[in-house]
Amino acid sequence: MPNIKLIFANDINTSAQIGDVAYFCSTSSNAEFKTGDNIKRIGKIKKIEKNASNNWEMTCGYGANLPLPSDSDFIMFSKDNEVNTSSALGYYAEVRFVNNSTAKSELFATACNVFISSK
């Protein structure tokens, strides 16, 4: 499979890493927002590094005969859901809910992920 090298003048999201899958889509202006659809897969990220010009380079595997992203396309990535499935480790939290109002209030739901991290 051939590779494609994407060059970014701005920083790449710090959570992007080798093994993630990169995608792109065209964008258009809709009032104050930019919208996009028709997301296309680029391929697995193989390398992320800064080049001599201080730009970021992302090298991805790329299938033959697929459309290439243009300079104005939005680039995004997703994590491998089979590898990145763990929950947070090593954090401690203490929570207290306080209602200082005299009006009736109702708390609909709270949730947390609790587990024993050491014995």
Q: What is the pTM of this model?
A: 0.63
What is the percent of the chain with per-residue pLDDT over 70, rounded to a whole number? 79
Q: How confident is the model at residue 48 (pLDDT cuts 50, 70, 90)?
A: very high
Residue 117 domain flag: no
Residue 113 domain flag: no
Give residue-wise pLDDT tens across range 52-77: 888 999 999 987 788 888 888 888 89
Residue 101 domain flag: no
The 3 state secondary structure assigned to 57-70 is EEEEECCCCCCCCC
CA distance 22 to 45: 6
CA distance 99 to 49: 49
Residue 66 domain flag: yes
Domain count for the chain: 1
Residue 91 domain flag: no
Residue 86 domain flag: no
Q: What is the residue range of 62's domain? A: 3-78
Is a pLDDT exceeding 70 seen at residue 37?
A: yes
Residue 116 domain flag: no
Q: Rounded to the nearest 10 degrees, how much is the dihedral formed by the CA atoms of 78, 80, 85, 90?
A: -70
